[in-house]
Amino acid sequence: MVTLLAWLSTIRVTGIVHGHRESTGCVPIFIRASRSRYADNGDFWRVIYSNGMYPFAAGSRSDYFAYLHPQYHIMQYFNEHAVVVHSSQTLFVKLAQLLNGLLYSHKIFDIRFMGIVNFALYLGALYLLTVALTHPVRGIRSYIIALMVVFVFDDSAITLYMNSFFAEPGGLTLLLYAVAAILLLSRNVYRRRWPLVVLYFVSSALMVFNKQQNAPLALSMAVVTLGLLFIPQWRRVRPYILGGIAAVLLTGVVTFALISKQFNDINMYQTFTYGVLVEQQHPGKAIAGAGINRQYALMRNGAYNPPEYASVLPTNKATTKHLTSKLSTGWVVAYYIKHPQQFMALMDVTAKNLMVVQVGAVGDYPQSAGGSAQQQAHYFTGMSTLMRAFYRAGLRSTSCWPWC
């Protein structure tokens, strides 16, 4: 039984082809078995410890990003770790833990249960999206559209996220639910509309609450929601829609407010070393002008948790006093306003990498698969490879602008 379940859990459900509900009534599902997924890039701890789990051989995990580790211990006694990141991802993890407890073990958590939960919810979102895009047309074009959805959203660069403790798959799934709900509403696919409105608002709010960096996206969702005010038959429910917009915006504010001091310190330190100090010819002079000792310019490209020797320990008292405590989002914004050329150079870096979806820094296979460290998966990456090649030009190239 356990073997069967383990086998079932390794199956990757890679997409749905949806014809028309009435004409075919069937949802063929392409399945293929695979064991690959993203390894830990150092971010998993914030999820696993606060959810009562810990890795195997926690003391000597020097290769955690090179190979993936499929199993984790489940804490049997009191969990002393406070919640470090408040996120809707916890709902996904709790669901996976429940399944794991019911079907597999109470002592060991298999990360594939995380994959089952993520995949099942993701498939639901893709199903609704495909229905919205194909309704009410029948025939060959619907199949072309369904195949396109599979080609785009079943790309391995995306699906490798599913079997991991990253929050990203949850965010994407919730965004797709919100998009599908809006499209279904606008096309009158279902007779009853309120379930779609509820689905839309719940998934938008959870999407914003998914990651701290999604907090500003509450504004984007507010823009989308404004569209609902234009439905003439809905004059009477407009106050409720406005209330929904307010709720989504409030979720954004709460998400932002719940960022812990520790995480703020990490993010501010890294935005300093990876942002403020790079693409700048005279970083010492620049930061001295903004009130920070110019010697800290030496910290360029240094991580908050340096893997090897670092000239200054980011966590110690002196660094906190003279650097981290002086940094804030306001300081960073003011700095970039003063140095617009550097900011444009940084945006150029992001534009060049905009379409790089696959996380290259971590391995995609377990050590038992026999591959080299940080080995990358390359099957079914057609869409991400295509987009990566197409958008390589960068921000300053005019070929990028017509699309925006």
Site for other proteins in 35-94 (CB under 8 A): 41, 43
Min separation Cβ 267 and other proteins, Å: 5
Residue 281: CB atoms within 10 Å: 8
Contacts of 130 (CB under 8 A, 6+ apart): 16, 18, 145, 146, 149
* Of residues 104 and 296, the one with the C-beta less far from other proteins: 296
* Of residues 201 and 272, the one with the C-beta less far from other proteins: 272
Q: Which stretch binds other proteins (CB under 8 A): 17-25, 56-64, 92-100, 353-361?
A: 353-361
Kindly give the interhelix angle for 329-338 and 340-352, rounded to the nearest 10 degrees.
100
Q: Does 154 bind other proteins (CB under 8 A)?
A: no
CB distance 161 to 38 below 8 Å: yes
The Cα–Cα gap between 5 and 11 comes to: 10
Among 270, 374, 375, 385, binds other proteins (CB under 8 A): 270
- CA-based nearest residue to 202, from 184, 225, 231: 225
Token code pair at residue 88:
């809707």
Min separation Cβ 357 and other proteins, Å: 5
**Which residues, 111 to 130, sit near other proteins by CB under 8 A?**
129
Min separation Cβ 137 and other proteins, Å: 5
CB distance 373 to 363 below 8 Å: yes
Radius of gyration of the chain (CA): 23
Q: Does 403 bind other proteins (CB under 8 A)?
A: yes
Q: Does 297 bind other proteins (CB under 8 A)?
A: no
Contacts of 333 (CB under 8 A, 6+ apart): none
One-letter identity of residue 115: G
Min separation Cβ 332 and other proteins, Å: 5
Q: Which stretch binds other proteins (CB under 8 A): 2-10, 67-75, 339-347, 367-375?
A: 339-347
**Which residues, 360 to 399, sit near other proteins by CB under 8 A?**
360-361, 383, 387
Residue 243: CB atoms within 10 Å: 12
Beta bridge partners of 73: 54, 108
Among 6, 8, 29, 137, binds other proteins (CB under 8 A): 137
How many residues belong to the site for other proteins (CB under 8 A)? 78
Min separation Cβ 216 and other proteins, Å: 5
CB distance 354 to 395 below 8 Å: no
Min separation Cβ 124 and other proteins, Å: 16
Collapsing DSSP to helix, strand or coil, 101 comes out as: helix
Q: Does 144 bind other proteins (CB under 8 A)?
A: yes
Among 96, 158, 199, 286, binds other proteins (CB under 8 A): 158
The Cα–Cα gap between 325 and 18 comes to: 54
**Which residues, 298 to 317, sit near other proteins by CB under 8 A?**
303
Q: Does 153 bind other proteins (CB under 8 A)?
A: yes
Contacts of 21 (CB under 8 A, 6+ apart): 131
* Of residues 52 and 169, the one with the C-beta less far from other proteins: 169
Q: Which stretch binds other proteins (CB under 8 A): 82-90, 93-101, 177-185, 241-249?
A: 177-185
Min separation Cβ 120 and other proteins, Å: 19
Min separation Cβ 339 and other proteins, Å: 12
The Cα–Cα gap between 107 and 76 comes to: 7
Token code pair at residue 343:
């900011």
Kindly give the interhelix angle for 112-134 and 2-10, rounded to the nearest 10 degrees.
50
Min separation Cβ 288 and other proteins, Å: 19
Among 109, 272, 296, 380, binds other proteins (CB under 8 A): 272
**Which residues, 223 to 252, sit near other proteins by CB under 8 A?**
223-228, 230-232
β 71-74/108-110 pair status: antiparallel
- CA-based nearest residue to 361, from 207, 173, 171, 160: 160
Token code pair at residue 137:
């047309």
Contact string (CB under 8 A) for other proteins, positions 190-229, x = contact: -----------------------xx-xx-xxx-xxxxxx-
* Of residues 74 and 160, the one with the C-beta less far from other proteins: 160
